[in-house]
Amino acid sequence: MSDAGVLYRGRFLQLKERQGWEWVERVNCTGVVMLVARTPEGKVLLVEQYRIPVGAPVIEFPAGLVGDGAGHGEDLATAARRELLEETGYEAGSLEFLSEGPPSAGLSPEAIAIFLARDLKRVGEGGGDATETILVHEVPEGEVEAWLEAKQREGCRVDPKVYAGLYFLARRP
């Protein structure tokens, strides 16, 4: 999209325009990854963090940016492993690429690569990096829907990509 004009550029985002259409792009990364992770005990790993734009805590699958910070040139699988460990304290024995696509095509050209994390081993606390405060939830797979409903009643928002991830989990033994 080289013929697009930059309307604003900040530290992390830029606003662009072409033919009357405005959209936002990240300037500090090359992609985004999300991890659908199930422990050997059958628990689904979800994270909760307060998101300033929506003014509420949000339930999500572990996810993060590719190539941000010192990781320029980082590939998707490396970023996925890094984000899983950073956010949840778990290492994945194996990763399976599931899908990739734009989560908000009218707002951004960004695509999210979704991975299934298997053979998990807890090696740390998780909770994110120094800029994040992340709560890790291990929810028995059969109780996830009721748990999500309860979190919504408590005032949490649920990222719709959680339901996409649960779709993939239901189809993978």
Residue 7 domain-assigned (yes or no): no
Among 134, 126, 108, which residue's Cα sits nearest to residue 31?
Answer: 108
**Ramachandran region, residue 128 (left: φ > 0; alpha: ψ -120 to 50; beta: rest):** left
* Dist CA 75 CA 155 (whole Å): 36
* Dist CA 80 CA 120 (whole Å): 13
Overall number of domains in the chain: 1
Domain that includes residue 147, residue range: 29-170
**pTM of the predicted model over 0.85:** yes
* Dist CA 142 CA 152 (whole Å): 18
Residue 96 domain-assigned (yes or no): yes
Residue 19 domain-assigned (yes or no): no
Q: Residue 93 pLDDT > 60, yes or no?
A: yes
Which amino acid, 11?
Answer: R
Residue 15 domain-assigned (yes or no): no
Q: Quick one: tokens of 56?
A: 């509420």
Long-range contacts formed by 14-19: CB under 8 A, 24+ apart:
none
What's the pLDDT tens digit per position in 12-48? Answer: 999 999 999 999 999 888 889 999 999 999 999 999 9
CATH number of residue 75's parent domain: 3.90.79.10
Comparing 129 with 153, the larger pLDDT belongs to 153
Which amino acid, 5?
Answer: G
Residue 49 domain-assigned (yes or no): yes
What's the pLDDT tens digit per position in 149-162? Answer: 999 999 999 999 99
Secondary structure class of 154 (helix, strand, coil):
coil
